[in-house]
Structure 1
């Protein structure tokens, strides 16, 4: 039997997934103790069941990233303890993806450490949206991983808004070129016409970003800058300003995760970006300035996760869900 749980910090997202699946959320209890500890337990029998647990790991009003991770791990372990046949972590935003390799002496590889924590509690599968570095995500885990990307979420709405205007998909840094290429291919397939590609030079050291070279022809086109996340918005704004300077007609930003750290409102309100699309992997949005909030459109990822869960439970194809050719 398929059971879907959603921990309280991500209950709204879980309700959306449950609605798309056509099943109720399974009942559970969460209790906080006076000293900061907590416990969570299922209120329904899970023995022999295929269990899925929703918890986004972005810190916010519902707790820090560390707290959310700890709660998720403990609950996954609890389901195992009480006889679940299989446990899957549904993680719309997977924290600690940015530190996936050592770039300075003494650096951690936190992506791998997080994977080891999931494995330690005998997690069978992790389903995440738009990992920061797909290769690092897949290599870090020894359990099964399912990676969902933004193409099924954003491609069709963007194409409808662009109509028949020339379009270029750009990556704001060299590391995201493959993500942008896949998005470019999906848009071209849906549109039935050519879609251009471009990428922005970027170097980061000590928290400072440099690099001004834009590679690709964007003159007269609507440029879609595709990234996995927007934190302060500085990276995507740099790319937007470079594209406009090179003759772009308009720039739209797309990112699966709208982290919107302090200072993001000012960046996003800048005129270089005409529109920004994000998913609801992080909710609620942290934008308080009306000008910035009006520029941001949210596309729900709940139906995409619901279909991924259905296919995992029934043995269907995730590749087909994402529009890729199955192996």
Structure 2
């Protein structure tokens, strides 16, 4: 097996390799004048089961499109050089939000990404917390593996020993199923007193509307779950609504912290939000703040690679509270 970690995913890749007990294979990435790029393995991939970990979020010097095309070209090079199988691991898979037409003549960008990945010779793809699981699985014609984060978040919530009842809140209609899965994960590990609530939200031409709030959160610890946070507006809107309906505390959880430069400041300074938890799928990305905690994905990804490579069976990380980490990086670094 060969495990490659592309630029932007080095920190996570080193922790995945350490957790799995294998090394990171050497490779070269070079930038040329006028924006072109070359990536190549520095070991012969012929006959090997190749896993490529790629950070496909935007930020810093590389855009989403830059990182996507570089990852696809690297996978294609491994395929051309005779790799037995090439698996792309993209903890955050871009364009997942555009999996259907909401306006006339809209693109189906999620499907186009899938077609491009397949055309480059990838045999399978692994991602974490897809925006729309059905859309992700249906877009690809190669095998897919979806790594859900509900168990990680449920373990964190269960470790909270405060006496107030717990409520899971979906911040928009599209997140109801995701919130239901977290609700079920909490019940599965013995958190009995769990409620459920959701908010209405509609967005058109950049304008957000919808004020319906359903569910009883009075006197409760509210956990707002989303798959990603960018500007933070959706989370803060839900947090403020929960406070207005009597929530004792509000904790936001998201699998992907795709923060804009202003988002962390906005979230950390808002009195309606007590805490924010994300995974390291898009790290490095944040400045240090007491409200933020980061849950590592390395155990989950290492377990997935071990299962995929030769059918080795590894159990997923146990449903115990993972240790959060602070990442003192500047936004957009």
TM-score normalized with structure 1 length? 0.93
Pick closer, same or farther for the CA change 1:72–1:24 going to 2, 3 Å: same
* Aligned match of 1:282: 282
Q: In structure 2, what is the Cα distance between the partners aligned to 1:207 and 1:136?
A: 23
Q: In structure 1, what is the Cα distance between the partners aligned to 2:17 and 2:133?
A: 27
Pick closer, same or farther for the CA change 1:285–1:273 going to 2, 3 Å: same
Q: In structure 2, what is the Cα distance between the partners aligned to 1:316 and 1:273?
A: 42
State the number of aligned residues. Answer: 318
* Aligned match of 1:148: 147
1:303 aligns with 2:299: yes
Q: What is the CA distance between 1:173 and its match in structure 2?
A: 0.6
For the residue of structure 2 that corresponds to 1:4, the secondary structure is strand
Q: Deviations over 1:84-140 (max 9, x none)?
A: 111111101111111111111121110000000001012111111111111111111
Q: Deviations over 1:247-283 (max 9, x none)?
A: 1111100001111114313430201110000011111
Q: In structure 2, what is the Cα distance between the partners aligned to 1:166 and 1:314?
A: 44
For the residue of structure 2 that corresponds to 1:260, the secondary structure is coil
Q: Deviations over 1:279-320 (max 9, x none)?
A: 111111244xx6xx22111111111111111111132579x7
* Aligned match of 1:183: 182
Q: What is the CA distance between 1:153 and its match in structure 2?
A: 2.4
* Aligned match of 1:49: 48
Aligned 8 A contact 1:6 1:55 in 2:
yes
Q: What is the CA distance between 1:321 and its match in structure 2?
A: 3.6
Q: Greater shift after overlay, 68-77 or 56-65?
A: 56-65
For the residue of structure 2 that corresponds to 1:89, the secondary structure is strand
Q: In structure 1, what is the Cα distance between the partners aligned to 2:21 and 2:66?
A: 30
Q: In structure 2, what is the Cα distance between the partners aligned to 1:42 and 1:161?
A: 45
Report matched runs for 1:174-213 at 5 Å: 174-213=173-212
Q: In structure 1, what is the Cα distance between the partners aligned to 2:278 and 2:264?
A: 14
Aligned 8 A contact 1:153 1:301 in 2:
no
What are the ranges of 5 or more consecutive residues in structure 2 without an aligned counterpart?
Answer: 319-333
* Aligned match of 2:123: 124
Report matched runs for 1:107-256 at 5 Å: 107-256=106-255
Q: In structure 2, what is the Cα distance between the partners aligned to 1:168 and 1:225?
A: 9
Q: Deviations over 1:222-257 (max 9, x none)?
A: 010000001111101111111111111111000011
* Aligned match of 2:270: 270
Aligned 8 A contact 1:220 1:248 in 2:
yes
Pairwise CA RMSD:
1.8
Pick closer, same or farther for the CA change 1:200–1:316 going to 2, 3 Å: farther
Q: What is the CA distance between 1:192 and its match in structure 2?
A: 4.2
TM-score normalized with structure 2 length? 0.91
Q: In structure 1, what is the Cα distance between the partners aligned to 2:214 and 2:317?
A: 28
* Aligned match of 2:21: 22
Q: What is the CA distance between 1:188 and its match in structure 2?
A: 1.5
Aligned 8 A contact 1:259 1:286 in 2:
no
For the residue of structure 1 that corresponds to 2:92, the secondary structure is coil
1:314 aligns with 2:310: yes
Q: In structure 1, what is the Cα distance between the partners aligned to 2:83 and 2:221?
A: 49
Aligned 8 A contact 1:162 1:222 in 2:
no
Q: What is the CA distance between 1:47 and its match in structure 2?
A: 1.3
* Aligned match of 2:321: none
Structure number with the higher helix fraction is 1
